[in-house]
Structure 1
Amino acid sequence: MVLREALSIPIPLDHEASTTAELPGLASLLRDWRGRAGLRMGLAKPLPQMVVATRLGMSERWYRDLERGGTARFDPRLLALLADVLLLDADERATLYLYAMGGTPAAGPARPEDLTALQELVDRQMPRPAFIADRAWTLVGHNRAAAEWFPWMSRPGANFARWVLTAPEAREQVADWTWQARMTLAMIRFALARYPGDESVVALLTDVLRDPLCRRLWAGRACVVANRDGDRFGLRLPHLSPEPIETVAQVLTPGGRPDLSFVVLGPPPGV
């Protein structure tokens, strides 16, 4: 397996901005994770590169080159040890492994017969809102309840992540918007590792980073999240209810289309 710096492509943010953002490669994530590991260990500073290298049984130069975007051959044992040394959680470990293996090949466009069967399943979730999104969170199907909750879903090219991050009404309707925006950006960060160079994911990130607030959130400490399955969301949807709505997202992956997400919104457990 080859560990490599995947994607370091400058993204223009807007015509007026003089700064650029870069897609996160493994090198930047390693630096961020090492800094966090040191804080978690009570060092008040990043875990030294020498310590990481020694625990891996490698030279400091070898590890320093990784954080500079160099390449190295990893066996599964060494990859697991690196994750342990940096105190990575499950999603971060998955991200590390994706970079080590070069990401997951992206599936081709969904065939009409694929979507017909999935749309029938989505419709059967009524009265719960349900929708299907592709790897860049563009909707490829939804049911009537989802359109009632979120009228924008019926527009051509509707994209869940773009709506959460950039739509003015989302910042009013999504409770704790800043946190939810961070988590949405964290999913984009994971998708960049899973689908290196995928044009639809890159285009989504380029678009949302035109927003100054999203740009500031993106520039903060790196966070990666594979999905939001089981996460709780608070929504303010005055066209449906005068009271806030609490819901939990169940995220499923169709066996034949691992690039799609099947999302159902339901009441919290016990409600």
Structure 2
Amino acid sequence: MNGTSQLGDFLRSRRSQLLPDEAGVPTYGERRRVPGLRREELAMLAGVSASYYARLEQGHSLGASPEVLEAIAQALRLDESERRHLHDLARSAKPRSRRRPAPELVTEPTAQLLDALGDIPAIVIGRRSDVLAWNRMGHALFAGHLDPGAPEVPAERPNMARLVFLDAHTRDLYADWPGKAKAVVGNLRLVAGQYPQDSALHTLLGELSAKSEDFASMWADHRVKACAVADYEMRHPLVGSLTVMQQTLSQGPGPGIVVATTAAGSPSRAALDLLAQAVTQAVARTAPARPDSRLSTG
């Protein structure tokens, strides 16, 4: 995977899915071999020459200015996430702009925030969807079938993308699994554009493509989406159905904290409270017995 091929693939995919009627391009009833826009039609809408745009899709022109990219984004009717992705791909196609990703660590402020969230389910997610840490409720809600200490061992850290596509428990957890899966893929697309030199990310994408036909199909669609806020209906094996709002709290360029909240007074809040009680009881059962301080020492 390289920036040049990603840029061309992304432009072709978005162009092929933009219908002439949606772009205001007249067809005069002609029969077309493909439903989307032709290169020359997209070039006309963006105000660039057809030959220049063709070179851009083919990876032969790497010097597109931000203004030209914005014109193309507007012609393709890209949303904010797609616009950012287009600029990331254009930068990553230039060798001088490539950057190697820094190691991901859970900082002390992040660890304190995770602890302070208490009964609010929360997990710390890295750029590749690795679970770097979670609180007790985050573990219980998202992956109660896994070892609670797994994130503490780098080689055993759960990866949410792997879980969504390759783990039967997680697949059953989401009532609208396709919606959750598409969100995961869309976010990975954004990350791949930002970190083209991340070999571990490329390995993950190759593994998912080989092991999951669903992932391979969704990845080929080239859709991008920032997973900042989304509602999901979950079917938890302990407390049943509940709807949570998953939000990513970002503290800059590092890992983000994904929290799951429910509406006050709702059945979903009651289900989450029930899960919190179950977690508390489980912790109490496994806690080591404390010596009785009332025993006489005389």
TM-score by length of 1: 0.81
Residues 115 and 93 of structure 1: is their aligned pair in 2 closer, same or farther, counting only changes over 3 Å? same
Per-residue CA deviation, residues 231-267 of structure 1 (Å, 9 max, x unaligned), is 001111122x1x3111011112113xx1311111111
Query: Equivalents in 1 of 2:123, 2:219: separation in Å?
Result: 30
Aligned twin of 1:259: 254
Aligned to 1:164: 164
Matches for 1:71-82 after TM superposition, within 5 Å: 71-82=61-72
**Which residue of 1 is the match for residue 231 of structure 2?**
232
Q: Please identify, of 157-166 and 215-224, the stretch whose mean Cα deviation from structure 2 is larger.
A: 215-224
Matches within 5 A, 1:64-143: 64-102=54-92, 105-111=99-105, 114-143=106-135
Find the counterpart in structure 1 of residue 41 from structure 2: 51
Q: Secondary structure at the match of 1:262?
A: strand
Single out whichever of 62-71 and 208-217 deviates more from structure 2.
208-217
Aligned to 1:13: none
- SS class of match (1:231): strand
From 6, 10, 15, the equivalent of 1:29 is 10
Confirm or deny that 1:206 pairs with 2:206: yes
Distance 2:179 2:220 in 1: 12
Gaps of 5+ in 2: 151-155, 267-298
Q: Quick one: which amino acid aligns to residue 108 of structure 2?
A: T
Aligned to 1:244, the other structure's residue is in SS state: strand
Please list the CA deviations of residues 100-142 of structure 1 after superposition, one character each: whole Å capped at 9, or x if unmatched. Answer: 222784542245xx52321111111110111111110111111
Across the two proteins, how many residue pairs are aligned to each other?
A: 244
Contact 1:104/1:194, CA 8 A, preserved across alignment? no
**One-letter identity of the residue aligned with 1:169:** H
Q: Determine the structure 2 residue equivalent to 1:193.
A: 193
What secondary structure, in the 3-state scheme, does the structure 1 residue paired with 2:245 have? strand
Matched to 1:262, the amino acid is I
Counterpart secondary structure, 2:127: coil
Residue 12 of structure 1 corresponds to none
- What is the identity, as a one-letter code, of the residue corresponding to 1:6? G
Deviation of 1:215 after TM superposition, in Å, equals 4.2
Partner of 1:6: 3
Using the TM superposition, give the Cα deviation of residue 216 of structure 1 relative to its aligned residue in structure 2, in angstroms: 4.5
Question: Do 1:161 and 1:184's aligned partners in 2 also have CA atoms closer than 8 Å?
Answer: yes
SS at match of 1:232: strand
Distance 1:72 1:106, change over 3 A: closer
CA contact 2:125–2:132 (8 Å) conserved in 1: yes
Q: What stretches of structure 1 of length at least 5 have no aligned partner?
A: 9-24
Whose helix fraction is larger, Structure 1's or Structure 2's? Answer: 2
| Runs ≥4 residues deviating over 6 A | none
TM-score, normalised by the number of residues in structure 2: 0.74
The percent of aligned pairs where both chains have the same amino acid is 24
Distance 1:200 1:166 in 2: 18
